[in-house]
Structure 1
Amino acid sequence: MGQKGAETRDRLLDATQELVETAGYFGTGLNQVIAVSGAPRGSLYFHFPGGKDQLIGESIRRAGRTIGDTLEEQAGTSPSPAEFVEGLLRHLGDRLAESGWRKGCPVATVALETAAVNDPLQEVCSEVYASWEAALRARLASRADADDLAVTVLALVEGALLLARAHRSRDPLERVGRQIRTLLD
């Protein structure tokens, strides 16, 4: 694929990610993706012959890698597991506040909307969550309960993001951060 094709594909994925994070799976239409991306309709079907589900699945994987990169950055700069998670919560809180409380987790909305009815998208959401859980587990590897703690921390972060978005406040993220510190120290 040439540079222009790659740029068009990236624009389609950027637009999809933006729309899915703010409106969810059912609130995101292909006409909206085309309008937001500025890409021709034919490009959408050329790059994503599987249609909406392929487009959304790839945008979720891409968003998942972005959060995964943040996990790696935090792991490299945080001396303790608690500081690692607190740094992640700060980053996600900044992202949420900067978006006007519209962008929480890039996976959660689609997971909630489609997990029971759309196996391919459920698998993508599961894959992304599993990668984040693995990153958390790696940072907690010195603990005998690293597997359980990784799931617990991920669930606390996800819940805090949901509450922060609903309340339009960082307070749930800060409270969860304090409890995670207690749990990990």
Structure 2
Amino acid sequence: MLRDEVAKAFKIIQDGGIILYPTDTIWGIGCDATNTEAIKKIYKLKQRDEAKSMIILLDTENKLESYISDMNPLAYDLIEYAENPLTLVMPGAKNISPALISSDGSIGIRISKHPFCQQLIQRMKKPLVSTSANISGKPSPQYFSQIDDEIINGVDYVVDLDQHSMEIKNPSTIMKLAPNGSFEFLRR
């Protein structure tokens, strides 16, 4: 089942599509983080201002340096010891679509522990865009049944996993980390 869903989602993403999928936090809308056209589809679907950047997911922290030019070693400790899913916003984004990079050159990255996300990212050999499955300005859905029909009908594929789970999941903690080691919480 998991392998089949990864294969189906991978095909959609390879073809430039966008997917609705479960993560280790809340349900996400995603695509290939190097495909600007697919990223624009997500902005349009969410009715989101393109100046508001989205995050990317990786399957392992070993890949961080492929997407951040000035990697702060503290990031590895923060990821290792974080009790909850942690998104790190770091400057020096590289090797992803410019549509994802904030005006200050940063990108938010989370290492996903969800088996579907990990396997899909491994198949893609690229980061996966992740943004909450809601229209911009509306509450983030805590589980699948709360996702707006407009979102479900607007993606190219809905992953058939965890749809009946009623486990309450929260968005990740977001921390902005500077190359000099200073940091601030953007969302706890």
TM-score where L is the length of structure 1? 0.30
Structure with the bigger RCO (C-alpha within 8 Å, sep 6+) is: 2
Query: Which structure shows the bigger proportion of residues in helix conformation?
Result: 1
TM-score where L is the length of structure 2? 0.29
Decide which structure has the larger Cα Rg and report it. 1
